[in-house]
């Protein structure tokens, strides 16, 4: 009962967004009910047409048989009177019995109470049999009476009574009866055909109704469902490729987009820069103000990145307070200029927040950046670039934070420069006094906050 009330609330109050599944459910049930109703009516009509055709075909056959039997009785009676052949008598007697049975069957059909009748076939036949002007039933009764009287005479009898009865059978009464039976048969068939045609039209309307409901179902039920499924699909894909907190690309999307980006950069022969950003002392923000404020800082920084960078640059949150960028068409000088501007924007824009108790405030924060400028004709894998950027990020943290450091490959002789650039982070020299640390290359030393 509550579901029905909710349904009408959806329909009449326009609350379709909140109760969309309920509306679709009831619409689908209604459409199925209409299809079931139309199908049932169409099936009933089909059965009626089939039964009617069989019944009317039988009556039409009986009407045709009656006219033939009347003709046969008249002929057999004349032959039997003239030739006194026994087989004429037998055939005549059989025809009289058949005529009686056929006549009884037609009269029984006419007198049966009407069921579901669409046309006037039975009424037309009744008019021929019982109404003035035709009165086939009366004429048939008289004809059968004289036929039986003639049947009872001796085969050798030549009495005037026998001749009179024969004249009644052959004196035009038979021809009139045959003409009336033929006329009744023709009109009965015509009315039957018209009736069946009109019923078939109803069946056609039912079939059209089914098609119409299916079209409405496709338009107003399945089409919205498919649209919703597409929306859900887009949402799922988006959620799989998007960081839920900041709305930026997540790690998966970043790796996926980088492949196309590298191919384009290589085709256009333009350098690009892979960047890692890490918010300075972010742990203390969470410890001091709570994770809710920490989340606000992450969202604020994400908006800053999107507004400060160019539309074709790739921005992603890899996790925690770590963000990754790919800057297109950037030489070392251009990358330095972009990152200088980014650090200045972050430094000069505070993040507003509201605590759970309603207290409002603002928070300044900074970020450290490590980056590596990539040669378009010597494309390495993204993990290698991220390791290089991470090494530079470590140096930026160690050097006092709120700065950017560019990672450059160790200088070898000119011959080996290409080889050095292809090598990964293991090409970095290490000694006991100074270690260049990569958070991805070692798990033994913790990166400074």
Same domain membership, residue 255 and residue 134: no
On average, the pLDDT of the chain sits at 83
Print the domain residue range for 59. Answer: 2-220
pLDDT-derived band at 22, boundaries 50, 70, 90: confident
443 within some domain: no
pLDDT digit string, tens, across residues 257-294: 999 999 999 999 999 999 999 999 999 999 988 899 99
Query: Is pLDDT larger for residue 27 or for residue 129?
Result: 129
357 within some domain: yes
Same domain membership, residue 303 and residue 214: no
Region label for 324, one of left (φ > 0), alpha (ψ between -120 and 50) or beta (otherwise)? beta
pLDDT at residue 9 is higher than 60: no
Which pLDDT score, from 0 to 100, does residue 229 have?
79
Same domain membership, residue 181 and residue 272: no
Question: What would the mean pLDDT of 200-220 be, rounded to a whole number?
Answer: 84
Question: What would the mean pLDDT of 110-127 be, rounded to a whole number?
Answer: 81
pLDDT digit string, tens, across residues 189-201: 998 888 888 888 8
Whole-number percent of the chain with pLDDT over 90: 50
pLDDT at residue 12 is higher than 50: no
pLDDT at residue 298 is higher than 60: yes
**12: its two tokens:** 């009449």
Same domain membership, residue 258 and residue 177: no
pLDDT at residue 210 is higher than 60: yes
> Highest mean pLDDT range out of 116-120, 177-181, 389-393?
389-393
Same domain membership, residue 105 and residue 64: yes
Which pLDDT score, from 0 to 100, does residue 220 have?
76
Which pLDDT score, from 0 to 100, does residue 265 have?
94
User: CA–CA distance from 65 to each of 60, 100, 354 (Å)?
Assistant: 9, 11, 102
Q: What is the 3-state secondary structure (H, E, C) of the chain?
A: CHHHHHHHHHHHHCCCCCCHHHHHHHHHHHHHHHHHHHHHHHHHHHHHHHHHHHHHHHHHHHHHHHHHHHHHHHHHHHHHHHHCCHHHHHHHHHHHHHHHHHHHHHHHHHHCCCCCCCCCHHHHHHHHHHCCCCCHHHHHHHHHHHHHHHHHCCCCCCCHHHHHHHHHHHCCHHHHHHHHHHHHHHHHHHHHHHHHHHHHHHHHHHHHHHHHHHHHHHHHHHHHHHHHHHHHHHHHHHHHHECCCCCCECHHHHHHHHHHHHHHHHHHCCCEEEEEEEECCHHHHHHHHCHHHHHHHHHHHHHHHHHHCCCCCEEEEEECCEEEEEECCCCHHHHHHHHHHHHHHHHHCCEEEECCCCCEEEECCCEEEEEEEECCCCCCCHHHHHHHHHHHHHHHHHCCCCCEEECCCCCCCHHHHHHHHHCCHHHCCCCCCCCCCCCCCCCCCCCCC
pLDDT digit string, tens, across residues 64-87: 999 999 999 999 999 988 888 889
Query: Is pLDDT larger for residue 61 or for residue 174?
Result: 61
pLDDT at residue 134 is higher than 80: yes
43 within some domain: yes
225 within some domain: no
Which pLDDT score, from 0 to 100, does residue 432 have?
30
Same domain membership, residue 279 and residue 409: yes
105 within some domain: yes
228 within some domain: no
If one counts the domains in the chain, the total is 2
Which pLDDT score, from 0 to 100, does residue 222 have?
78
> Could you tell me the CATH number of the domain that includes residue 152?
1.20.120.1730
Same domain membership, residue 349 and residue 209: no
Same domain membership, residue 200 and residue 291: no
pLDDT-derived band at 18, boundaries 50, 70, 90: low
In 3D space, the residue among 126, 124, 99, 96 whose CA is nearest the CA of residue 110 turns out to be 126
Same domain membership, residue 327 and residue 203: no
Which pLDDT score, from 0 to 100, does residue 379 have?
92
Which pLDDT score, from 0 to 100, does residue 17 have?
55
> Could you tell me the CATH number of the domain that includes residue 421?
3.30.70.270
444 within some domain: no
> Highest mean pLDDT range out of 113-127, 345-359, 388-402, 417-431?
388-402
> Highest mean pLDDT range out of 29-38, 46-55, 388-397?
388-397
Task: Give the pTM.
Answer: 0.50
140 within some domain: yes
pLDDT at residue 156 is higher than 80: no
Same domain membership, residue 257 and residue 180: no
pLDDT-derived band at 372, boundaries 50, 70, 90: very high
Which pLDDT score, from 0 to 100, does residue 412 have?
54
pLDDT at residue 23 is higher than 80: no
Same domain membership, residue 185 and residue 329: no
């Amino acid at each position: 009962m509550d579901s029905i009330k909710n349904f009408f609330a959806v329909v009449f109050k326009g609350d379709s967004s909140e109760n969309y599944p309920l509306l679709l459910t009831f619409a689908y049930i209604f459409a199925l009910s209409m299809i079931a109703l139309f199908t049932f009516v169409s099936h009933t009509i089909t059965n009626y047409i089939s039964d009617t055709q069989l019944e009317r075909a039988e009556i039409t056959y009986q009407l045709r048989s009656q006219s033939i039997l009347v003709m046969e009785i008249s002929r057999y009676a004349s032959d039997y009177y003239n030739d006194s052949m026994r087989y004429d008598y037998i055939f005549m007697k059989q025809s009289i019995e058949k005529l009686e049975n056929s006549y009884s069957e037609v009269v029984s059909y006419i007198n049966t109470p009407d069921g579901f009748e669409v046309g006037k076939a039975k009424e037309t036949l009744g008019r021929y049999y019982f109404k003035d002007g035709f009165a086939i039933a009366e004429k048939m009764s008289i004809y059968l009476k004289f036929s039986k009287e003639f049947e009872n005479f001796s085969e050798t009898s030549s009495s005037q009574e026998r001749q009179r009865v024969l004249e009644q059978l052959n004196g035009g009464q038979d021809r009139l009866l045959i003409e009336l039976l033929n006329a009744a048969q023709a009109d009965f068939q015509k009315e039957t055909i018209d009736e069946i045609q009109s019923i078939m039209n109803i069946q056609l309307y039912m079939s059209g109704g089914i098609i119409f409901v299916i079209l409405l179902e496709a338009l107003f039920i399945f089409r919205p469902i498919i649209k919703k499924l597409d929306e859900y699909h887009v949402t799922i894909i988006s959620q799989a490729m998007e960081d839920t907190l900041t709305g930026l690309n997540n790690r998966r999307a970043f790796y996926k987009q980088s492949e196309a980006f590298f191919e384009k950069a290589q085709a256009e022969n333009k350098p690009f820069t892979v960047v890692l950003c890490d918010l300075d002392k972010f742990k203390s923000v969470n410890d001091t103000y709570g994770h809710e404020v920490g989340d606000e800082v992450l969202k604020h920084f994400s908006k800053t990145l999107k507004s400060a960078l160019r539309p074709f640059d790739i921005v992603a949150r890899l996790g925690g307070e770590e963000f990754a960028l790919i800057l297109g068409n950037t030489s070392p000088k251009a990358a330095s200029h972009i990152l200088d501007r980014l650090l200045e924007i972050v430094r000069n824009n505070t993040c507003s927040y509201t605590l759970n108790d309603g207290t409002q405030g603002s928070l300044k924060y900074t970020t450290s950046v490590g980056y590596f400028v990539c040669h378009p004709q010597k494309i390495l894998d993204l993990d290698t670039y991220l390791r290089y950027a991470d090494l530079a990020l470590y140096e930026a943290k160690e050097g006092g934070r709120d700065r950017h450091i560019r990672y450059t490959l160790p200088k070898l002789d000119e011959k080996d420069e290409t080889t050095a650039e292809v090598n990964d982070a293991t090409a970095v020299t290490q000694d006991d006094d100074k270690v260049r640390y990569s958070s991805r290359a070692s798990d033994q030393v913790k990166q400074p906050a």
